[in-house]
């Protein structure tokens, strides 16, 4: 565990940066924004802190698998290793993502019997 606030905040930054959750949106970007604020790191904030920092906040854009693969290969090449191919997901594997773009009116109703 961290011995002081600064080390605890840094450990949390690392933990959030290493966390990968696919398929759903999370509040990780919000927490990363909070942790990046100097006033939070120093412990100098009040009850209006979240309102102030999130007023004009825009969630960062997530990179696609293709972009991540391109970065991976660029790093490998820069380090002098031979890049190998990676298998990208098929259209069927990523079909659920298209459903996220549908509005609630376009989605079929969900009926659960026995409820």
- Residue 43 included in any domain: yes
Asked if 45 and 39 count as a contact pair (C-beta separation under 8 A), the reply is: yes
- Residue 51 included in any domain: yes
- Residue 107 included in any domain: no
- Residue 13 included in any domain: yes
- Is the per-residue pLDDT at 100 higher than 80? no
Please state whether the predicted TM-score (pTM) of the whole model is above 0.85.
no
Instruction: Band the pLDDT of 79: cuts 50, 70, 90.
Output: confident
What is the pLDDT averaged over residues 16-35? 86
Q: How many domains does the chain have?
A: 1
- pLDDT-above-90 percentage for the chain: 7
- Is the per-residue pLDDT at 12 higher than 80? yes
- Residue 115 included in any domain: no
What is the C-alpha to C-alpha distance for residues 62 and 67, in angstroms, rounded to an integer? Answer: 10
Which residue range is the domain that position 46 belongs to?
5-100
């Amino acid at each position: 565990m961290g011995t002081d606030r600064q080390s605890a905040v840094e450990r949390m930054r690392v933990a959030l940066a290493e966390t990968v959750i696919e398929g759903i949106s999370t509040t990780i970007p919000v927490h990363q924004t909070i942790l990046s604020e100097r006033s939070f790191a120093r412990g100098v904030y009040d009850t209006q802190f979240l309102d102030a920092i999130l007023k004009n906040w825009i969630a960062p854009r997530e990179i696609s698998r293709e972009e991540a693969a391109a970065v991976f290969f660029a790093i490998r090449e820069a380090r002098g290793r031979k890049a190998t191919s990676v298998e990208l997901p098929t259209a069927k594997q990523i079909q659920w993502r298209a459903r996220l773009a549908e509005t609630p009116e376009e989605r079929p109703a969900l009926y659960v019997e026995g409820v």
